[in-house]
């Protein structure tokens, strides 16, 4: 069993990005610039955004954090999005989700210029990814692909089972895994809450990607010997022994599943760190106009 060390890979890729940025700067270009809109003071969102700002610094990017209180109107946020769309000093930006209920997340996402949509949530980027065209790939699926690639996990013709059909993980990672090329070209099955023979389907998987958000629901009897298991779950479980009062819990019962695996990602330290790295990579691509030229 080999542990897939997302923290280490993330650090490596950030160094590669930083080197690329220094080359850009030496060539007279300005640093890539990522902006983030944060509404309210949700603990999880504060942590995610703080980590994104920190990663920007590590990659040599400029970052801007634009804060609004919980009672901000949708119109005010749209106005800010239009401003960022038109700001030639900003290469990409994100709206940290979730948002307060009185605001339509979808409306905001669709207002973002798809050429600056480094989260890859705009329908144009989702559609282009499905069709197989260059696009901003959404961060978590792109991070999973990078991990498979760095560890040379065989994917072509493999049975890949995706647990969960969310718009931000399950569906896009399924789309990427079925594309021609490496990593990809797998036979992909997408399971969800209404899948009847879940254990049977999972136990045929060469690659199992768990993204349901149900802590420790993937048990050893569901996993084939020699499988690669990617755990996308990050549920906060109360833990009095931690200063924070919680610990992150994956979808996989790690201790019993790991011994059966060829490769497995831990939680934390597996997919999580890669998600931010994907965002950094998308921002670099945006600054270099690699995907969209104008």
Binding site for a second copy (CB under 8 A): 106, 122-133, 156-157, 159, 165, 167, 171-172, 174-175, 178, 185, 187-192, 194-197, 201
Q: Are strands 92-95 and 159-163 parallel, antiparallel or unpaired?
A: unpaired
Q: Which of 43/123 has CB closer to a second copy?
A: 123
Q: Which of 35/126 has CB closer to a second copy?
A: 126
The phi and psi torsions of 124 (rounded to 5 degrees) equal -65, -45
Q: Which of 188/276 has CB closer to a second copy?
A: 188
Shortest Å distance, C-beta 128 to a second copy:
5
**Residues catalogued as catalytic:** 52, 96, 119
Q: Could you tell me if 76 and 68 are in contact, meaning their C-beta atoms sit under 8 angstroms apart?
A: yes
Shortest Å distance, C-beta 80 to a second copy:
23
Q: Which of 77/202 has CB closer to a second copy?
A: 202
Question: What is the number of residues in the chain?
Answer: 294
Q: Which of 41/192 has CB closer to a second copy?
A: 192
Shortest Å distance, C-beta 86 to a second copy:
21
Contacts of 55 (CB under 8 A, 6+ apart): 14, 276, 277, 279, 280
Shortest Å distance, C-beta 13 to a second copy:
26
Shortest Å distance, C-beta 119 to a second copy:
13
């Amino acid at each position: 069993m080999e542990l897939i060390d997302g923290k280490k890979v993330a650090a490596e890729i950030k160094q590669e990005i930083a080197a690329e940025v220094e080359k850009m700067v030496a060539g007279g270009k300005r640093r890539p610039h990522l902006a983030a809109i944060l509404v309210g003071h949700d603990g999880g969102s504060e942590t995610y955004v703080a980590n994104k700002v920190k990663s920007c610094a590590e990659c040599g990017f400029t970052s801007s954090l634009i804060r609004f209180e919980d009672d901000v109107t949708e119109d005010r946020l749209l106005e800010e999005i239009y401003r960022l769309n038109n700001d030639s000093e900003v290469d990409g930006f994100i709206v940290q989700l979730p948002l307060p209920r009185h605001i339509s997340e979808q409306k905001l996402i669709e207002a973002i210029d798809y050429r600056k949509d480094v989260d890859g949530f705009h329908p144009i980027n989702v559609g282009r990814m499905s069709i197989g065209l260059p696009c901003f790939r959404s961060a978590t699926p792109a991070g999973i692909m990078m991990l498979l690639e760095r560890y040379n996990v065989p994917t072509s013709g493999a049975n890949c089972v995706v647990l969960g059909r969310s718009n931000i993980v399950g569906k896009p990672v399924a789309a990427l895994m079925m594309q021609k090329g490496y990593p990809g070209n797998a036979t992909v099955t997408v399971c969800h809450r209404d899948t009847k023979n879940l254990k049977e389907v999972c136990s045929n998987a060469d690659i199992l990607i768990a993204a349901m958000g149900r802590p420790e629901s993937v048990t050893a009897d569901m996993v084939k010997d020699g499988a690669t298991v990617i755990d996308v779950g990050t549920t906060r479980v109360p833990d009095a022994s931690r200063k924070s009062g919680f610990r992150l819990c994956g979808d996989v019962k790690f201790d019993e599943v790991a011994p059966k695996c060829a490769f497995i990602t831990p939680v934390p330290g597996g997919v999580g760190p890669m998600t931010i790295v994907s965002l950094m990579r998308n921002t670099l691509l945006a600054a270099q106009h690699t995907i969209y030229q104008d």
